[in-house]
């Protein structure tokens, strides 16, 4: 039987015992776990939803009258006062509305060639988009006196605001965040349901760190994460108004939140009713 040759000093130094190898492996595991946990923390901060956004539905809390001639393009509540923007050529307006009756308290009609779209309030001003007229209209929010018309390079669909920006949809899957004074684009997101982009984003409402959006011609409201564009919930609004008006364009459009009561109000174009609703988890028992 042959005997193994003794190891040289150099060879001995090259041999690692299990006990010597353990700290390096532990270190690698620590680094790996730090990366994973750090990513989870970042995802939590963004509140990134699963690939398939949860399905919600609604419960009706109250029903109010709504002007059935109003082609609703924007809806909001500020300090208890409801405002509404209406569209169509030679029919467009901006209004302060009595919630109880649905009737305008103050109404300003747009130029006959203007097609009104989304509205929002930022500071003491109310901003109203036009569809393809290349203008954004700026009003005093209390009197609805028109202060100025500014050139605007985007097609106007939906408009809302967070503490720092005007937030704009243009009918695509893109939502832009604009400087309220210059309208310069500060950032933008692409709306995605998992890996699928979602276009025809319409009327917008920002509330509690989320953007709520109508989708043109769909009985659907999306809840969108502003930091990423990811959809965190899809709210099925089917059956809210029955029967609907015959006009194909009489679709769900208009989301407002009373931030004093945290109540959501929704309506549609040419709808005779406006609804106060709450959003709830969709279950197999949901009658939608």
Which tens digits make up the pLDDT trace of 232-283?
Answer: 999 999 999 999 999 999 999 999 999 999 999 999 999 999 999 999 998 7
Q: pLDDT at position 10, please? A: 42
Decide if 255 is inside a domain.
Answer: yes
Q: Which of 21-25, 29-33, 241-245, 284-288 has the highest mean pLDDT?
A: 241-245
Percentage, residues of the chain above pLDDT 90: 78
Structure-token pair, residue 76: 């909001």
Does the pLDDT of residue 8 top 60, yes or no?
Answer: no
Q: pLDDT at position 286, please? A: 59
Decide if 116 is inside a domain.
Answer: yes
DSSP 3-state of 186: strand
For residue range 73-83, what is the model confidence (pLDDT) as tens digits? 999 999 999 99
Decide if 26 is inside a domain.
Answer: no
Q: Are 149 and 133 in contact (CB under 8 A)?
A: no
Q: State in Å, rounded, how far the first CA of the chain is from the last one.
A: 84
d(C-alpha 36, C-alpha 109), whole Å: 56
**Residue 85's domain spans which residues?**
53-281
Q: How confident is the model at residue 24 (pLDDT cuts 50, 70, 90)?
A: low
Q: pLDDT at position 155, please? A: 96
CA 155 to chain centre: 18
Does residue 209 come out as left (phi exceeding 0), alpha (psi in the -120 to 50 range) or beta? Answer: left
Does the pLDDT of residue 40 top 80, yes or no?
Answer: no
Q: pLDDT at position 282, please? A: 81
Decide if 250 is inside a domain.
Answer: yes
d(C-alpha 158, C-alpha 252), whole Å: 13
d(C-alpha 219, C-alpha 253), whole Å: 9
Decide if 42 is inside a domain.
Answer: no
Decide if 141 is inside a domain.
Answer: yes
Q: pLDDT at position 27, please? A: 60
Position with higher pLDDT, 2 vs 258: 258
Q: pLDDT at position 53, please? A: 82
Q: How confident is the model at residue 25 (pLDDT cuts 50, 70, 90)?
A: low
Report strand pairing: 116-122 vs 125-130: antiparallel
Does the pLDDT of residue 202 top 70, yes or no?
Answer: yes
Backbone angles phi, psi at 82, to 5 degrees: -90, 140
Decide if 48 is inside a domain.
Answer: no
Position with higher pLDDT, 61 vs 53: 61
R_g over Cα of the chain: 27
d(C-alpha 78, C-alpha 282), whole Å: 30
* Sheet (strand 185-190) strand order: 159-161, 166-169, 174-178, 185-190
Which residues lie across from 215 on neighbouring strands?
201
Decide if 41 is inside a domain.
Answer: no
For residue range 134-158, what is the model confidence (pLDDT) as tens digits? 999 999 999 999 999 999 999 999 9
Q: pLDDT at position 54, please? A: 87
For residue 45, what are the CA distances in angstroms to 223, 224, 226, 227?
Answer: 16, 14, 12, 10
Average pLDDT of span 221-233: 97
Report strand pairing: 201-207 vs 196-197: unpaired
- Under 8 Å CB-to-CB from 129, ≥6 apart: which residues? 74, 85, 116, 117, 118, 119, 136, 137, 152, 156, 157, 158, 159, 168
Q: Running DSSP on this structure, what letter comes out for residue 156?
A: -
Q: Are 166 and 159 in contact (CB under 8 A)?
A: yes
The pTM of this model reads 0.82
CATH number at residue 83: 2.120.10.30
Q: pLDDT at position 257, please? A: 98
- The count of domains in the chain is 1
Q: How confident is the model at residue 105 (pLDDT cuts 50, 70, 90)?
A: very high
Average pLDDT of span 171-197: 96
Peptide bond into 243 cis (omega under 30): yes
């Amino acid at each position: 039987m042959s005997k193994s040759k003794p190891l040289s000093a150099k060879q001995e130094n090259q041999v690692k015992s299990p006990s010597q190898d353990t700290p390096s492996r532990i270190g690698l595991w620590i680094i790996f776990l730090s990366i994973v946990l750090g990513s989870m923390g970042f995802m939590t901060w963004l509140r990134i939803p699963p690939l398939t956004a949860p399905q919600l539905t609604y419960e009706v809390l109250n029903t109010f009258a709504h002007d059935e001639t109003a082609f609703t393009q924007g809806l909001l509540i500020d300090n208890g006062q409801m405002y509404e923007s209406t569209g169509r050529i030679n029919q467009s307006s901006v209004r302060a509305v009595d919630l109880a009756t649905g009737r305008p308290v103050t109404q300003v009609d747009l130029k006959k060639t203007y097609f009104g779209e989304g509205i929002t309030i930022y500071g003491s001003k109310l901003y109203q988009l036009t569809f393809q007229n290349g203008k954004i209209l700026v009003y005093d929010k209390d009197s609805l006196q028109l202060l100025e018309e500014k050139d605007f390079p985007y097609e106007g669909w939906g408009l809302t605001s967070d503490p720092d920006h005007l937030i704009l949809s243009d009918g695509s899957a893109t939502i832009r965040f604009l400087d309220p004074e210059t309208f310069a684009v500060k950032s933008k997101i692409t709306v995605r349901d998992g890996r699928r982009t979602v276009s025809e984003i319409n009327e917008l409402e920002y509330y509690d760190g989320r953007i709520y959006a109508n989708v043109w011609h769909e009985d659907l409201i999306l809840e969108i994460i502003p930091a990423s564009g990811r959809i965190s919930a899809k709210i099925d609004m089917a059956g809210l108004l029955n029967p609907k008006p015959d006009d194909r364009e009489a679709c769900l459009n208009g989301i407002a939140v009373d931030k004093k009561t945290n109540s959501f109000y929704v309506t549609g174009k040419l709808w005779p009713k406006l609804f106060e609703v709450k959003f709830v988890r969709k279950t197999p028992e949901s009658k939608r």
